[in-house]
Chains A and B, each alone.
Chain A
Amino acid sequence: MSRRFTPSVVTANDLFEGDVVYLTPDQGWSRDLSHAQLFTDARAAEAALAQAQAQSDRLVGPYLAAARSGPNGPEPAHFREAFRARGPSNYPHGKQEAGMCRP
């Protein structure tokens, strides 16, 4: 029996800035997790990941990160992804600086 697929977003780091980015429904890349496309189907997610892996001229290390649906879009399912989506907790740097994350 195959494992149940966990809803996921496609995420990577931007080649130039290193910042965390997410694949959006219009095939673009956003720095805001809430703009990401949430995949609930394993095949669609794998296909999107494969496309991301082909974009090595702008991305580093794409992978599928577990997420769940929230009122404002996808939310992280694990605390590591929550830190990636928000930035460090000791300074308001990264996405917090850019005003990109909600409290």
Chain B
Amino acid sequence: MYAYSEFDRAFLRTRNTQFRAQVERRIAGNLTEEEFRPLRLMNGLYLQLHAYMLRVAIPYGTLNSAQMRQLAMIADRWDKGYGHFTTRQNIQFNWPRLNDVPDMLDALAEVGMHAIQTSGNCVRNVTADHFAGAAADEIADPRPVAELLRQWSTDHPEFQFLPRKFKIAITGSPNDRAVTRAHDIGLRTVLRNGARGFEVIVGGGLGRTPVIGKVLADFIPEADLLPYIEAILSTYNSFGRRDNKYKARIKIMVNELGLDDVRARVEARFRTLRAEWQGVDQHILNDLRRAFAPPAFRVAPTDGFDTAYQRDPGFRAFADTNLAAHWQDGYAIVTISLKAHGATPGDASSDQMRLMADLAERYGHDELRISHEQNVILPHVHKSDLPALYAALKTAQLATANIGLASDIIACPGMDYCALATARSIPVAQDIARAVAAREHDIGGLKIKISGCINACGHHHVGHIGILGLDRAGVENYQITLGGDATETAALGERAGPGFAYDQIVPAIERVLDAYLDLRRGPSEDFLATFRRLGAQPFKDALYLPEVSAHAV
């Protein structure tokens, strides 16, 4: 992992001192809210429905145990004993007091963390494949480049006031777990003639205008990546719209100018910029590669795993559902579900955080990851340690075997917390999870994603089943989309039809699942494959049966 340098630490000290003074001036009445608001947002502090919210960056979703323990300490000391992990691999504290936030930021700085650029029209936290450095299908660990991008974009003087926020995602695997096609820039590691480079995807995004990103360049050599990205940002900074915030994202610029025109402008800018890059970035990248070197893997028998797998059905279900293939023999990637049936998706109590930190330290080479699907990953666990790990997770409601299944739902905070929301998300997710729990292993792989407004933090457009909560004439109403896909075969879901009232959305989802079980060719044909074979119509029929259509509005 990357450890902060003295430069990083000094930068954070300065920023935190500045913000402490800004909070003091606001409280003393020397700053109005209009003056203070952009200053607090630059430091990740929002004001939501019931309280302030502090959004803390977890760069490319990577944490060590000391950082996780510090998050737990912050949750206990200054919040309500829990944190909410988000679809951008960040953590949010929902109940801080304004006076306490400077102390919270100082506590974060002690472990090399901060809340800078988690808001505002700047480059946000760079997200990455949560299996980075561990996945069996990986070409290269994307995190050194992600860290290079973090360093380059943090406090970048030219890009603090872009037309709108800017999100970059990166993956090192052909199987895209980082939703690269729904980001302002998506980077996919590719090999060409043995040389490493990136496919650069631009103009993807969800929100009110969902767009699947387009390939701006099919291969940018690694040494050219940073100047090329700077050329994209620079082009966007010059030509992105500032007259209408709803048309200000780069996806709108790409749609209005056309991909070829944008490519020509970026390439022209790149030719100018490239000469200014003298190779310092590549020296830094080489150092970063050493920082992200694989841990000292051990070689040990895996008999204990095999025995537990045979004897314990609970462990077998956990192993079948929550493990992913590691590139190192004898190791597995463990996904810890933060979706116990009926729990709030993405929430972890401070006790759970401390347990996960302890387990990472003991069994996981001190590494944890946060996934955009709002779970926690221990990327490097030797299989012989899995039975003990599973037993420990069970003591804290962290052993639910539901990764990738119907109850592993992404849900934004929705109107229970968010000031922008138009309906609740969390209780819908809780109710669906409870309703599907008994049959989700039969249903198989399924991605349900719920957003509480059109800004789509819950990624509903790319859910196999997406749910969008809206305010229809003063009542919560939920639209269903079908057939979305967040992976390398990305697709936007198709709206099924009229929305459903709050008390009708769970039965509606159950009807879609009933239809799927009736229609599939067998357990090997998952929901998305069945949808692609048959189209939306049979699922729409299931949703809008005549006898229940009176409930649809």
Contact in complex: A78, B474 (CB < 8 Å):
yes
A45 at the interface (CB under 8 A from B): no
Count how many chain A residues have C-beta atoms less than 8 Å from C-beta atoms of the other chain: 24
Tell me how many residue pairs across A and B have CB atoms closer than 8 Å. 69
A89 at the interface (CB under 8 A from B): yes
A93-B95 contact, Cβ under 8 Å, with A18-B51, A60-B47: yes
CB-CB < 8 A to A60: which residues of B? 33, 47
Residues in A7-50 with C-beta less than 8 Å from chain B: 13, 15-20
Contact in complex: B427, A89 (CB < 8 Å):
yes
CB-CB < 8 A to A3: which residues of B? none
Contact in complex: A89, B424 (CB < 8 Å):
yes
Chain A nearest CB from B475 CB (Å) reads: 7
CB-CB < 8 A to A84: which residues of B? 49-50
Contact in complex: A16, B98 (CB < 8 Å):
yes
Contact in complex: A90, B426 (CB < 8 Å):
yes
Contact in complex: B417, A88 (CB < 8 Å):
yes
A61 at the interface (CB under 8 A from B): yes
Tell me the complex Cα distance, A35–B476, Å.
Answer: 27
CB-CB < 8 A to B416: which residues of A? 83, 88-90
Closest to B429 in A: A90
CB-CB < 8 A to B471: which residues of A? 79-80
Contact in complex: A79, B50 (CB < 8 Å):
no
Partner of A19 from the list B50, B424, B426 (CB cut-off 8 Å) is B50
CB-CB < 8 A to B427: which residues of A? 89-90
A56 at the interface (CB under 8 A from B): yes
Chain B nearest CB from A4 CB (Å) reads: 17
CB-CB < 8 A to A57: which residues of B? 29
Residues in B5-62 with C-beta less than 8 Å from chain A: 26-27, 29, 32-33, 47-52
CB-CB < 8 A to A87: which residues of B? 50
CB-CB < 8 A to B337: which residues of A? none
Chain A nearest CB from B458 CB (Å) reads: 15
Chain A at the B interface: mostly helix, strand, loop or mixed? loop
CB-CB < 8 A to B415: which residues of A? 79-80, 83
Contact in complex: A16, B33 (CB < 8 Å):
no
Partner of B97 from the list A17, A20, A80 (CB cut-off 8 Å) is A17
B80 at the interface (CB under 8 A from A): yes
Contact in complex: B51, A94 (CB < 8 Å):
yes
Contact in complex: A56, B476 (CB < 8 Å):
no
B92 at the interface (CB under 8 A from A): no
CB-CB < 8 A to B344: which residues of A? 90-91
A20-B430 contact, Cβ under 8 Å, with A90-B416, A93-B80: no
Contact in complex: B99, A16 (CB < 8 Å):
yes
Chain A nearest CB from B365 CB (Å) reads: 34
Using CB atoms and an 8 Å cutoff, list the residues of chain B in contact with chain A: 26-27, 29, 32-33, 47-52, 80, 94-95, 97-99, 344, 415-417, 424, 426-427, 430, 471, 474-476
Using CB atoms and an 8 Å cutoff, list the residues of chain A in contact with chain B: 13, 15-20, 56-57, 60-61, 78-80, 83-84, 87-91, 93-95
Given contacts A78-B474, A79-B471, A89-B424, 18 further A-B contacts (CB under 8 A): A13-B47, A15-B26, A18-B50, A18-B98, A20-B49, A20-B50, A56-B29, A57-B29, A60-B33, A79-B415, A83-B49, A83-B424, A88-B417, A89-B427, A90-B427, A91-B80, A91-B344, A94-B95
- Closest A-B pairs by Cβ, 3 of them: A88-B416, A18-B51, A18-B52
